[in-house]
Amino acid sequence: MAILKSMIIFIVILFLQLSISYAQENVCTSTAIATCNPYPCVQTGNIFSCLCPDMTTKPSAVECNGGVIPNQCGNAICPAGATCIPTNQNPALYICLCPNNVIANPNCPTNPSNQCLINNLCLNGGTCITNQFTLQTVCVCPSGYYGLNCNYLCAPRCNSRWCYNGGRCVNAYGQPYCICGRNYRGRRCELRYNQLNYVYLYQHPRW
């Protein structure tokens, strides 16, 4: 009975050790390594940390740099004519925007698959770019447009000609609003007011 009890205890201890060992495996995954890049990923228990140049450990490379995202484009391997763009989603990486509007990393392919030639859905002057890894297209919209396909017009903003009859324009909730003088009303101060009624003053836009 004592032998059986000892064997059970041994098996339980072995199971716990294996469980702890298994739990500590793969802590420095590709995501963790990318988060620490260019600094090494180190394992502490079942969590990962980044080993900073001052030999302290921080949760990310950004923390090692005092909150500043490292400039990956300093050591970028982009071919001539390509533009290096740091990625916002993962500060450890960058992309190369090739002259033919194809994204590649770290080099531009010799014969890229440019999906923009097949399926360009960018509207209103948007520039189509192909992600060489996912073969998906992305639209870079011109000023004044937004949306997946640049299909939405940005809300108008205040300018010197938005409000009529001396009204003052203010931007509120993404829209221009007019503060009218005492004798005018309307969204753009286009209505002259008197005690009896409103008189609509039709004015063509002056831009």
* Structure-token match 């992305």, residue found: 138
pLDDT, position 26:
64
- In this structure, the answer to whether residues 115 and 159 fall within a common structural domain is no
- In this structure, the answer to whether residues 89 and 137 fall within a common structural domain is yes
Rounded Cα–Cα distance for residues 143 and 125 (Å): 10
pLDDT, position 193:
73
Pairing of strands 94-97, 102-104: antiparallel
pLDDT digits (tens, 9 = 90+) for 144-202: 777 788 887 776 677 788 899 989 888 766 577 888 888 888 888 888 876 444 444 44
pLDDT, position 14:
46
- In this structure, the answer to whether residues 96 and 117 fall within a common structural domain is yes
| Residue 45 and residue 58 in contact, taking contact as beta carbons nearer than 8 Å | no
% of the chain with per-residue pLDDT over 70: 61
Q: How many domains does the chain have?
A: 3
pLDDT, position 25:
61
Task: Please give the residue that has the higher pLDDT: either 53 or 199.
Answer: 53
For residue 83, give Cα distances in angstroms to 68, 101, 105.
22, 10, 11
Task: Please give the residue that has the higher pLDDT: either 125 or 16.
Answer: 125
% of the chain with per-residue pLDDT over 90: 0
pLDDT digits (tens, 9 = 90+) for 7-35: 554 454 444 444 444 444 667 877 777 77
pLDDT, position 195:
44
**Does residue 119 belong to any structural domain of this protein?**
yes
- Report the chain's mean pLDDT, rounded to a whole number: 70
Task: Please give the residue that has the higher pLDDT: either 180 or 39.
Answer: 180
- In this structure, the answer to whether residues 148 and 183 fall within a common structural domain is no
Residue (of 72, 104, 69) closest to 86 by Cα position: 72
Pairing of strands 127-131, 102-104: parallel
- In this structure, the answer to whether residues 141 and 109 fall within a common structural domain is yes
- In this structure, the answer to whether residues 98 and 147 fall within a common structural domain is yes
Domain boundary, last residue among 103, 135, 152: 152
Pairing of strands 102-104, 198-200: unpaired
* Structure-token match 């003052």, residue found: 168
pLDDT, position 205:
42
| Residue 207 and residue 159 in contact, taking contact as beta carbons nearer than 8 Å | yes
What tokens does 100 get? 């033919």
Task: Please give the residue that has the higher pLDDT: either 29 or 72.
Answer: 29
**Does residue 6 belong to any structural domain of this protein?**
no
Phi/psi of residue 12, each to 5°? Answer: -65, -45
Decide: helix, strand or coil at residue 34.
helix
- In this structure, the answer to whether residues 35 and 56 fall within a common structural domain is yes
Other beta carbons less than 10 A from residue 30's beta carbon: 9
Range(s) of the domain holding residue 183: 155-192
pLDDT, position 46:
76
Confidence grade of residue 72 (pLDDT, cut at 50, 70, 90): low
Confidence grade of residue 132 (pLDDT, cut at 50, 70, 90): low
Domain CATH number, residue 170? 2.10.25.10
pLDDT, position 174:
59
- In this structure, the answer to whether residues 88 and 140 fall within a common structural domain is yes
Whether the per-residue pLDDT at 141 is higher than 70: the answer is yes
**Does residue 120 belong to any structural domain of this protein?**
yes
**Does residue 10 belong to any structural domain of this protein?**
no
| Residue 173 and residue 183 in contact, taking contact as beta carbons nearer than 8 Å | no
- In this structure, the answer to whether residues 184 and 162 fall within a common structural domain is yes
| Alpha helix ranges (H) inside 48-202 | 61-64
Rounded Cα–Cα distance for residues 65 and 63 (Å): 5
Q: Which residues is 103 bridged to in the sheet?
A: 97, 131
Can you tell me the mean pLDDT for 73-93? 65
**Does residue 75 belong to any structural domain of this protein?**
no
- In this structure, the answer to whether residues 110 and 148 fall within a common structural domain is yes
